[in-house]
Chain A
């Protein structure tokens, strides 16, 4: 069978290198690589069949495994494979890579490096979603950090150095914790290799308290990426200083690494740990949900507002994962996909508002609709999708998440349920200030969206509507994962 995952990794790698070298023509290379990537993703969907259970690493489709580092005390393999969860997140990666390239089509500051770093970020994310070996996973995980560090640190706003460093240190501390916890799990349980499958088998033999401690360490490691309250303050700073393309990838993909990691390497490796540590996760999730929504309401900077709303939404993802039910997992993956699309759209909106009007301050830029009707429409679509309007992508995800919460936790559901009112409040109020009312703070040369930006946002809006009307297009694939439903 065609080793589609390795092939994709190879094309992304070659494509990234060529993009770096292509200089001013980098955008064409990047567009071609994105197109090839999307075709390869389509091939993954086409080839995706559910293999029989219980045979080696065959829990995963399209899996490959080759020996990498074999010494007597350490067996590291190059093992890759996907299931429905990773498949959907890979789709998200492909979509966001393409729209980021489209959105930054007119980038003039070091275009070769810019597009190369964008591609490298997506390469890292793809690697994280396919890696089934602790070390391989960690390598890709770290690969993601470096380009993002430079995207923020070189193309960012006035405080970019501070924000980039904060982002790097914060997430790096977390990833080291994660790596140590995974290695301890492997060595403590005498796992023969560092493969996912062998780790999953051996971790169950650990004593329950050890599993709980290891799980909580992993939770910290992945949680910072979510981000969870109170380890979230790197996020608003990183977003505010990041260039638009960086924000899109940061919110759309990097936060999903945390969610994916917690499912694959936390929940699936140490389920007992999760079931005992669940109350901690619930508390953190509720805190993030309330905190993200509450702080969003006070924000005057559009981008900060969207950043804090991400904390709220990712809090619901964490809650859904912590439920540890098939309904909850389905909801978590749907929500991650939805948030990836919608937050990307909203960060593009923030970026375009900034380019066009010179500021994102909701108190100084008002009533932009007559000047920029297309941008205004995109803003509405993004805000309404994010607050969970039916027929848009977030609704089926949030509905499932809340139903799962009610199912498992009963009346605790009123916490995420009532923050929906707050979420609606800050988005609706944002729209009232930014879009409606008497125009204010509009520069004379302000114009509607350039084609590249309109195209990128338009594509995201179309996806929001299509998946919102036909969520089964995603649900079908997610439920092919062993954890998320099928017997």
Chain B
């Protein structure tokens, strides 16, 4: 309890507060001082303070692992009245929870957040509306950190929605572009489906644990994850009951929306309409990982049923393969990386579903760095050549040395080549699912899909690297002459490159690895990275072999400036077209939104106008006929009302005084 840095734990709220303050300052005064470009540096400052405190807290948690809740303030309190589901009422609270899981996330979010903010200074300087950009990005960072430190499910949901809306605004940052506005809408609505499921899951948990059993008192205490240093619901068995299975599936639904898992994955590639910095921070390293974090938190503090686990493994395993397949053919550099993100998130979901929660978080940790690196490097390229089309690029390694090496390190890491970070975590995922499959044969197909994806991953990312950086010169001669980016952009790339090399090895450092062990202490399955030692040499050999084969294939087809063109009559052309059309899911979603939903609603509006209101008009005509006749006696609009009133009254009185007494069963007389 009393490590040298644990005194900082009660101050954890400073971490989200710093960027929140930056948001307020930029939001209030940004537009007025647009010329001075200081808004960006305030945002960088807020992110820096968050990183400083956040990393110190994480280090404190490494030195003295445990769970610390603090400063839970009451947000909405219902006093109980002794009856109903909540006899003692309930309390919804906001607070901070420092535990191994949030410590891992704190490092990821604050470090990547700070580096992306810094990168933005150079990357965004040509754009309009910068105060808005930095305000929204700061609000995002604050919300994300509020989510990471949430000490109960409702707070988690609250910030979950806030990061969603920040993502909406930032995807639509170039709002004058119709495609950006449309992508923002799509992202909001698709994730909203997940959010609604998430909410239903929360309701089920709240109600189930509120009244009876060892969970009683959970409601009155604010539904806290942790109380007195231990998970509140520890020892509450999660029976394989239908209700808990449904609740778990609802959590998966929420996670699938946020983490773009099949079938809610369609929005993430389109989200690339936002600035590349946004893609790096929100749509690669942090927000999309929130879904995985949610699954981890639920598995640690509440628990999944066996059925849930199988479904989670299936969704994760399938998404891994499904998304990677689409990355094989696309030519937009950001989209390729976006599909890769969906696929890698699938690995994390797979590991959490198999019961190896901390392995999933381990991959989340390493992935955040190498994926942010890939995006920032891609951003540096886009900044230099002003196109995102891989087929127009080429030969950029000569002019953009730091960027090309950074991208290469990211690609090697993603492909799972030792000793880069991705190797350790991805190998752990595969090894842990292999272990779980020993006792759950139903996991096998998804393990096989995950292995097949290793090959595809290495192929598509090196296809991108070769297309952009190898060869002698750009394939499109009209591109502007590329040159290396300013220091605000290269420094983040260099730092992330270093992290993409060492982040995997960090798990072997006892203190850092201790975070994973401490987190796993709550879990029924003690799956702790590095499980590397437990995996057989054959498994690792297989995955590295697949990765190297993928790289070699990419080299043969695309290396040294080559462009591989598939013959028009090739048997795989239909598959290529299917992948380019994204399995027609996007078309299906658009068809549903624009045709089905809109047509149904037009039909409802028609019924509303002509049938319901038409009936009203019918009565109007009836009464105006009546009143026209009555006007012989007296004229005036007031009589119209009187006619209504009299008729209505008469019917009512007849009913009450004649009909009701006539039937003693109605209580008359």
- Determine if chain A interacts with chain B: yes
Question: CB < 8 Å: which of B78, B154, B196, B604 contacts A327?
Answer: B78
In the complex, are the beta carbons of A169 and B641 less than 8 A apart? yes
Q: How many whole Å from B413's CB to the nearest CB in chain A?
A: 36
Cβ of B584 within 8 Å of any chain A Cβ, yes or no, is no
Given A295-B608, A390-B157, CB of A472 within 8 Å of CB of B74? yes
State whether A406 and B200 are in contact (beta carbons under 8 Å apart), knowing that A169-B640, A295-B608, A486-B81 are contacts in the complex. Answer: yes
Please give the distance in Å from A300's CB to the nearest CB on chain B: 10
Contact flags B198-241 to A (C-beta < 8 A → 1, else 0): 01100110110000000000000000000000000000000000
Q: Is the CB of A173 within 8 A of B196?
A: no
Q: Please tell me if the beta carbons of B660 and A213 are within 8 angstroms of each other in the complex.
A: yes
Interface residues of B, dominant DSSP: helix
Tell whether, in the assembled complex, residue A438 and residue B200 are in contact, meaning their CB atoms are under 8 Å apart: no
A106 within 8 A of B: no
| A-side contacts of B641, CB under 8 Å | 168-169, 172
Q: Collect the chain A residues with CB atoms within 8 Å of residue B86's CB.
A: 327, 407
Contacts of B74 in A (CB 8 A): 472
Task: Give Cα A402 to B199, complex, Å.
Answer: 9
Query: In the complex the two chains form, is A298's CB within 8 Å of B601's CB?
Result: yes
CB of B84 within 8 A of CB of A407, answer yes
CA distance A370 to B175 in the complex (A): 10
Q: Decide if A417 touches B200 in the complex (CB within 8 Å).
A: yes
Contact (Cβ within 8 A) B652 A180: yes
Taking CB atoms, residues of chain B closer than 8 Å to A180 are 649, 652-653
A487 touches B81 (CB 8 A): yes
Given contacts A176-B648, A487-B81, contact A472 B600 (CB under 8 A): no
Is the beta-carbon distance between B203 and A406 smaller than 8 angstroms?
A: yes
What residues of chain A lie closer than 8 Å to B159, measured between beta carbons?
A: 390
- The answer, yes or no, to whether A391 is at the interface (CB within 8 Å) is yes
Residues in B with CB closer than 8 Å to A230 are: 612, 615
Q: Are A209 and B648 in contact (CB under 8 A)?
A: no
A389-404 Cβ-contact flags toward B at 8 Å (1 or 0): 1110001100110110
Distance of A435 Cα from B616 Cα, bound (Å): 36
Which one of A248-256, A338-346, A422-430 contacts B?
A422-430
Given contacts A177-B648, A180-B653, contact A437 B178 (CB under 8 A): yes
A395: chain B residues within 8 A (beta carbon): 158, 161
Query: Which residues of the other chain, B, contact A471 by a CB distance below 8 angstroms?
Result: 75-76
Interface residues of A in 223-273 (CB under 8 A from B): 229-230, 232-234
Residues 299 to 347 of chain A near chain B (Cβ within 8 Å): 299, 325-327, 330
Instruction: List A contacts of B161 (CB < 8 A).
Output: 389-390, 395
B181 close to A (CB within 8 Å):
yes
B85 at the interface (CB under 8 A from A): yes
Contact at A298–B602, with CB atoms within 8 Å? yes
A363 at the interface (CB under 8 A from B): no
User: Chain A nearest CB: distance from B154 CB in Å?
Assistant: 8
Residues of A within 8 A of B200 (CB): 406, 413-414, 417
Nearest opposing residue in chain A for B160, CB measure: A390
Q: Are A297 and B597 in contact (CB under 8 A)?
A: yes
Please state if A233 and B608 are interface contacts (CB–CB under 8 Å): yes
B-facing residues in A429-471 (Cβ within 8 Å): 429, 432, 435-439, 470-471
B593 contact set on A, CB distance < 8 A? 425
Q: Is B541 at the interface (CB under 8 A from chain A)? A: no
* Residue B165 is within 8 A (CB to CB) of chain A in the complex: yes
Q: Nearest Cβ in chain A — how far from B668, in angstroms? A: 7
- Write the nearest CB–CB distance from A233 to chain B, whole angstroms: 4
Segment from B3-11, B185-193, B496-504 that makes contact with A: B185-193
Task: From known contacts A173-B648, A390-B157, infer whether A369 and B192 are also in contact, taking CB-CB under 8 Å.
Answer: no
Q: Given contacts A294-B604, A295-B608, is CB(A475)–CB(B77) below 8 Å?
A: yes
Q: Are A421 and B192 in contact (CB under 8 A)?
A: yes
The verdict on B626 contacting chain A, using a C-beta distance below 8 Å, is no
Report A-chain residues with C-beta under 8 Å of the C-beta of B199: 399, 402, 417
Q: Are B165 and A173 interface neighbours, CB within 8 A?
A: no
Instruction: Say whether A479 contacts B79, CB under 8 Å.
Output: yes
A384 within 8 Å of B by Cβ? yes
Q: Are B644 and A437 in contact (CB under 8 A)?
A: no
> In the bound complex, do residue A184 and residue B81 qualify as a contact, i.e. CB atoms below 8 Å apart?
no
- Size category of the B interface is 35 or more
- Chain B 66-95 against A: per-residue CB contact (8 Å), 1 yes, 0 no? 000000001111111110111001000000
Nearest-neighbour CB distance to chain A for B578, whole angstroms, equals 28
Name the distance in Å between B639's Cβ and chain A's nearest Cβ: 12
Which residues does chain B contribute within 8 Å of A294, judged by CB atoms?
600-601, 604
Report chain B residues within 8 Å CB of A176: 645, 648-649
* B509 close to chain A: CB less than 8 A: no
Q: Are A437 and B176 in contact (CB under 8 A)?
A: yes
Q: Are B605 and A298 in contact (CB under 8 A)?
A: yes
A289 → chain B, closest Cβ, in Å? 13
Q: In the complex, which residue of chain A has the Cβ closest to the Cβ of B179?
A: A437
Instruction: Evaluate whether A403 and B203 lie within 8 angstroms (CB atoms) in the complex, with A233-B616, A421-B196, A425-B189 already known.
Output: yes
Asked if A367 lies at the interface with its beta carbon under 8 angstroms from chain B, I say yes
A429, B185: Cβ atoms under 8 Å?
A: yes
Q: Is B346 among interface residues, defined by CB-CB distance under 8 A?
A: no
CB-defined interface of B620-642 with A at 8 Å, one 1/0 digit per residue? 00000000000000000100110
- Tally of A interface residues using CB under 8 Å: 76
Q: A207-B667, A327-B78 are in contact. Are A297 and B207 (CB under 8 A)?
A: no
A418 part of interface (Cβ distance < 8 Å): yes
Given the known A-B contacts A297-B598, A297-B601, are A208 and B667 also in contact in the complex, defined by CB atoms under 8 Å? yes
| B605:A432 contact, CB within 8 angstroms | no
Are A485 and B660 interface neighbours, CB within 8 A?
no
Kindly provide the distance from the CB of A485 to the nearest chain B CB, expressed in whole angstroms: 5
Residues 333-375 of chain A, each 1 if its beta carbon lies under 8 Å from chain B, else 0: 0000000000000000000000000000000000101100100
B151 to chain A, nearest CB (A): 16
Q: Mark A119-143, 1 if CB is under 8 A from B, else 0.
A: 0000000000000000000000000
- State whether A389 touches B196 (Cβ < 8 A): no
Q: Which residue of A lies closest to B652 (CB)?
A: A180
Complex-state Cα separation, A234 to B600, whole angstroms? 23
- Any A CB within 8 A of the CB of B656: yes
Task: Pick the residue among A229, A407, A438 that contacts B176 (CB under 8 A).
Answer: A438
How distant is the Cα of A421 from the Cα of B189 in the complex, in angstroms?
7
Q: Is A210 an interface residue (CB 8 A)?
A: yes
Contact with A along B145-185 (1 / 0, CB 8 A): 00000000010011101100100100010011110111011
The answer to whether B652 touches A217, judged by C-beta atoms less than 8 angstroms apart, is yes
Q: Assess A403 versus B206: contact at CB under 8 Å? Given A210-B660, A330-B78, A429-B185.
A: yes
**Which of A168, A169, A232, A485 is within 8 Å of B78, CB to CB?**
A485
Partner of A367, one of B168, B176, B188, B600: B176
B488 → chain A, closest Cβ, in Å? 28
Q: What separation, in Å, do the CA atoms of A428 and B203 have in the docked complex?
A: 26
> Are A326 and B81 within 8 A (Cβ)?
yes
How far apart are B39's CB and chain A's nearest CB, in angstroms?
Answer: 16
Chain B residue nearest to A417 (CB atoms) is B196
A291 x B608 contact (CB < 8 A) = yes
A-chain residues with CB within 8 Å of residue B177 when the two chains form the complex:
437
- In Å, the complex CA distance between A87 and B177 comes to 47
Q: How far is the CB of B287 from chain A (nearest CB, A)?
A: 15
Query: In the assembled complex, which residues on chain B have CB atoms less than 8 Å from the CB atom of A229?
Result: 612
- The reply on A278 being an interface residue by CB < 8 A is no
Closest 9 pairs between A and B when the two form their complex, measured CB to CB: A207-B667, A297-B601, A436-B181, A298-B605, A233-B613, A390-B158, A436-B175, A298-B601, A406-B203
Listed by A's residue number, 14 A-B pairs whose Cβ atoms lie within 8 Å are A172-B645, A176-B649, A233-B612, A233-B616, A295-B601, A298-B605, A390-B162, A395-B158, A403-B203, A407-B84, A417-B196, A428-B185, A436-B176, A485-B80
A210-B667, A407-B203, A475-B76 known; 4 new pairs, CB 8 Å cut-off, are A165-B640, A234-B616, A485-B78, A487-B82
Residues on A lying within 8 angstroms of B by beta carbon are 165-166, 168-169, 172-173, 176-177, 180, 184, 206-211, 213, 217, 229-230, 232-234, 291, 294-299, 325-327, 330, 367, 369-370, 373, 384, 389-391, 395-396, 399-400, 402-403, 406-407, 413-414, 417-418, 420-422, 424-425, 428-429, 432, 435-439, 470-472, 475-476, 479, 485-487
